[in-house]
Structure 1
Amino acid sequence: MSPRLPAPLSLWVDTAPAPDRGGRPLPVQAEVVVIGAGIAGLTTAYLLAAAGRSVLVLEAGAVGAGVSGHTTAKVTAQHALAYSTLKSRKDKRGGAIAAATYGQAQSAALDWIARTSAEVEIDCAFTRQDSFVYVTDPARLDRLRAEAEAAEEAGLPASLVGGEEIVPPLGAAGAVRFTGQAQFHPRRWLLGLAERIEQLGGRIVEGIRVTQVEERGIVHTPRGRVRGRDVVVATHYPILDRGLFFARLNPVRDLAVAGPGAAVDGMYLDADTHRSLRGYDGFLVVGGEHYRTGEDIDVEGRYSRLAQAALELGMTRLTHRWSAHDMSTLDSVPYVGRYHPAARHLWVATGFGQWGMTGGTAAGLLLDELIRGGDPPAAALFDPNRFDAPSAVALAKDNVAVARHLVGGYVSAATSTGTPEGLRPGAATVTRRGSRFVAGYRTEDGELRTVSARCTHLGCLVAFNNAEKTWDCPCHGSRFGTDGTVIQGPATAPLSPA
């Protein structure tokens, strides 16, 4: 029997009430306009405000309630098997330098959070924990050995340990351990940063979606325009098509469940299944079951599998479940820097994969230095406009997947025999109606909602997410409510009524 699933709600959003910053007047200008109040955007805004810049943060939703509030909240430089992967992508010397540069950036981000949370007294439950990436198949231990060696060579506190050193009953054959890592409450951290930004004279406006940005620093919103000398696009998925980020990012969703359970020391990730486990204040937090955003699959069924696994790991009951929207780059290194080669005052931070807590913080530290005229040594590694031969192969694979979803969606909808009018409560369909493709959903109380099924970004047909009750685009990850409203970009316009 499948475990009973609660309504989708992030543990972090539920346990960190926030002031309403919506409805505030929109300033005419600021030295720096930051779009997005997640960890990358708020870190950038805080650092620049502390440096004396006038800063305005624009957020479509609420502070820390988007991607950064839907994470497992591990603050660690251990990013699965990142260091052996980085080392192998380039020649021996270049790969080792890239791995060391990446590791130094992530470790600096971790240390900055630890130092700043103490200095400005942000109560975010920051605690040090060791982090483990493990395998259950002894034949896979060579992968761990290569990772431990690459991470240690990069200057990180890594070592290879046996399965007997893994305390929870995970069936591990061995693991790479990083000592001195951390975990925290991500939304409390972000709300604390937001409060400090305002104390420094910065301004934050929630509930306002940016629709366009001009190269000269004019930011367009439904409530008017704002001019900024510098504009930072930290919207997780960049909302501007210049730079072609939509073709260079792979959108996936990762599920998480939480509930009371036995205390767990340490943070754990299965290198093969990407299932994760950690504890927080009497809760167990279990993640996994990732899939490409917008795939026509049973997301609710994936939640059930994850919930069952959590119960087997010692969770006594489920109280929360949520999903995270992750963007991976072609080489698994985030894009942080100038939005495109000709940009001078337009900046971007995206592509943190599953590692946004240190990745987003590292992006803020890097952007702060770049905007203030510095030349940080990590800039070349994170340059959004980099490209190499392995990236070309990854780009081809990603865009084959996009083409498959684009064509497959239209074929499936054109041959569908269902109609929106025939839907039972809670059901949805995408079908053809004359020359239009329609997405229909009937609410549990019987209301029928029909909208255009064509994503307003580039026209792919959306698919129904039966867990979050959203319309998700499989091509580039845009997400919409059943009434057509934009939940996540790159789309900025809603699905039109049908």
Structure 2
Amino acid sequence: MTDNETETHLAHFPESYWRTHPVPHYPQMVADGTTEIAVIGGGIVGIITAYLLAKSGKNVALVEAREILSGVTGNTTAKITAQHALIYAELLQTFGKEKAKQYYNANIDGLQLIEKIAHELAIDCNFEKKKAVVFATSEDGEKQIRKEVRAYQALEIPGRFSMGQLPELPFETVAALTMPDQAQFHPVKFLAPLLDEIIKYGGTIYEQTRAVNIKDKTHIEMENGKTLVCEKVVVASHFPFNDFDGFYFTKLSISRSYGIAARVNGAIPDGMYISVDSPTRSLRSITDTDGSSFLLIGGDGHQTGKSKTDTQEHYRNLEKFGRDHFDLQEVAYHWSAQDMTTTDKMPYIGQMTNDSSDILVATGFNKWGMAAGALAGQLLADRVIGRQNDYETLFDPTRSKHKPKDIQQFAKKNIAVGKDFIVSKAKRPDLMPDDLGLDEGGLVTVDGKKVGGYRDKQGELHLVKMTCTHLGCGLSWNDAERSWDCPCHGSRFSYSGEVLNGPAVKPLPKMDD
């Protein structure tokens, strides 16, 4: 592939391979309503939670702000694994042996739940058992892997340490740690049939219905002014839309990562791989509907709204890696995802705050939300039903491991990012709206004020105010996604101002052309 061909492909708006599979659509909520359980968020956590509750006889309403499976679940690498790069040495130190082993067991249970549901419902979702491999290409990376090996041994986690070159990889490696019997799948193929099951069991699904507030703990107010009254709320919106309950914006770090699905000449490694060394490189195969294969290359992550380069460059870096090592022929799809990490690397799953047992939450999966997301669906459903779950304490969002100094450091870091960006914005050269070419965006000056501008491919100019509607931070233009991204708490807006990712729930005000 030539550089020009790559540029031509990347000029298109990002499209996830998983999202090319058809997904049913559902109506907007256009009248006030009632339900027993409201599940907010149409990704893997929300769908599995709603499915399990509906199956158990509960009256459920699943509510999605945009389109079902349009969020991180539809833009994942879709690895179902308990090997989360290097995590167990850190968990062992932070939580001790019992809870670190529980974390492994929870993710294995999540994997097995996906496999069980796929088998029971005869879902063809390309579920394949694969080894998961974390590898090093440097001496420092080897040291990190050796530390993780010691954690595996202490926790009695199955794994195999190897030195030297991995024969299946076409670039130099110095060490690797392999976890057997993990899996990969097609997340949309798996979850789409569960939507039919929710309806079959009497549930309701709404799309294009953004929840913006929870009033009196059981009254969910929507952006369009409608209210859904329920007995319990499950907040599975990735970033909690009600993040001021418990101040979750001070306890979550937000980042973006990138992926491409490429046609390559030659064999694709038979496993799921991720590098220790930076920049991260994640690899797996995808089997297409015609039996041919793609190589999925992921990585090149950064803090949301704080890329050190033009965001298109992250896709170019992945493409170059594929061309250098795998004889890449064509980038067929490219997409990105947004991920949340908690202060202690353990997801928050359970009661959202100490003072309300009626509001549950799941968030902070640290880039590994497939196995853990399935487990979260089971845990949340168990909490609603009143059934004991072995992992309640482990993932408790109100756990005492949240040290005040850690939260303060998170908050200070977010504030500093926002201030740094505002200063850098003030130093940028002035552009006028007429300076923007087709499919080009950035800060422009209108009547002496700096605003966000984007000129679409038809030549129409879109102008929006540049202040995040969450907490007022300045926004950064993301040229790869054609979005306005907040470097403080990860909110993202379309070029015309609509909310793409929370915690913001209100769109950007539009400016007159």
Bin for the TM-score computed over the shorter chain = over 0.9
Look up the SS of the partner of 1:359 in the other structure.
helix
Maintained 8 Å contact 2:141/2:277: no
Deviation of 1:436 (Å): 5.7
Deviation of 1:71 (Å): 0.5
> 1:341 is matched with which residue?
354
> 2:79 is matched with which residue?
74
- Alignment partners' CA distance in 1, 2:156 and 2:113: 18
Match of 2:294 among 279, 283, 293: 283
Match of 1:225 among 220, 224, 227: 227
- Alignment partners' CA distance in 1, 2:32 and 2:47: 18
Maintained 8 Å contact 1:464/1:471: yes
Maintained 8 Å contact 2:432/2:445: no
Structure 2 counterpart of 1:286, one-letter code: I
Which stretch shifts more, 146-155 or 272-281? 146-155
> 1:424 is matched with which residue?
436
Question: Is the aligned partner of 1:463 residue 2:476?
Answer: yes
Look up the SS of the partner of 2:35 in the other structure.
strand
Instruction: Give runs of aligned pairs for residues 32-111 of structure 1, distance below 5 A.
Output: 32-90=37-95, 95-111=96-112
Match of 2:332 among 304, 319, 322: 319
Pick closer, same or farther for the CA change 1:141–1:461 going to 2, 3 Å. Answer: same
* Residue segments in structure 2 that go unaligned for 5+ positions in a row: 288-292
Structure 1 counterpart of 2:238, one-letter code: H
Look up the SS of the partner of 1:285 in the other structure.
strand
Percent of aligned pairs with the same amino acid: 34
Which stretch shifts more, 321-330 or 374-383? 374-383
TM-score by length of structure 2 reads 0.91
Deviation of 1:166 (Å): 4.6
Maintained 8 Å contact 1:427/1:442: yes
Maintained 8 Å contact 1:65/1:187: no
Maintained 8 Å contact 2:312/2:480: yes
> 1:121 is matched with which residue?
122
Match of 2:465 among 438, 449, 452: 452
Maintained 8 Å contact 1:215/1:346: no
- Alignment partners' CA distance in 2, 1:149 and 1:111: 26
* Residue segments in structure 1 that go unaligned for 5+ positions in a row: none
- Alignment partners' CA distance in 2, 1:403 and 1:346: 28
Pick closer, same or farther for the CA change 1:353–1:435 going to 2, 3 Å. Answer: farther
CA offset digits 1:227-248 (Å, max 9, x no partner)? 1111011010111111111111
TM-score by length of structure 1 reads 0.94
Pick closer, same or farther for the CA change 1:460–1:24 going to 2, 3 Å. Answer: closer
- Alignment partners' CA distance in 2, 1:206 and 1:277: 33
Maintained 8 Å contact 1:28/1:225: yes
Maintained 8 Å contact 1:103/1:154: no
Maintained 8 Å contact 1:263/1:284: yes
Which stretch shifts more, 322-331 or 143-152? 143-152
Instruction: Give runs of aligned pairs for residues 141-180 of structure 1, distance below 5 A.
Output: 141-180=142-181
> 2:322 is matched with which residue?
310
- Alignment partners' CA distance in 1, 2:109 and 2:153: 16
> 1:254 is matched with which residue?
257
CA offset digits 1:231-287 (Å, max 9, x no partner)? 011010111111111111111000000122333200000012221000011010000
Look up the SS of the partner of 2:300 in the other structure.
strand
Match of 2:23 among 14, 18, 31: 18
CA offset digits 1:296-344 (Å, max 9, x no partner)? 5310112111111122232321000000111111111111111111011
Deviation of 1:26 (Å): 5.3
Question: Is the aligned partner of 1:489 residue 2:499?
Answer: no
What root-mean-square deviation, in Å, do the aligned CA atoms of Structure 1 and Structure 2 show?
A: 2.0
Look up the SS of the partner of 2:36 in the other structure.
strand
Maintained 8 Å contact 1:420/1:441: no
Deviation of 1:417 (Å): 3.7
> 1:295 is matched with which residue?
306
Instruction: Tell me the number of residue pairs that the alignment of Structure 1 and Structure 2 aligns.
Output: 492
Pick closer, same or farther for the CA change 1:151–1:46 going to 2, 3 Å. Answer: farther
Match of 2:413 among 380, 401, 405: 401
Maintained 8 Å contact 2:25/2:68: no
Pick closer, same or farther for the CA change 1:266–1:486 going to 2, 3 Å. Answer: same
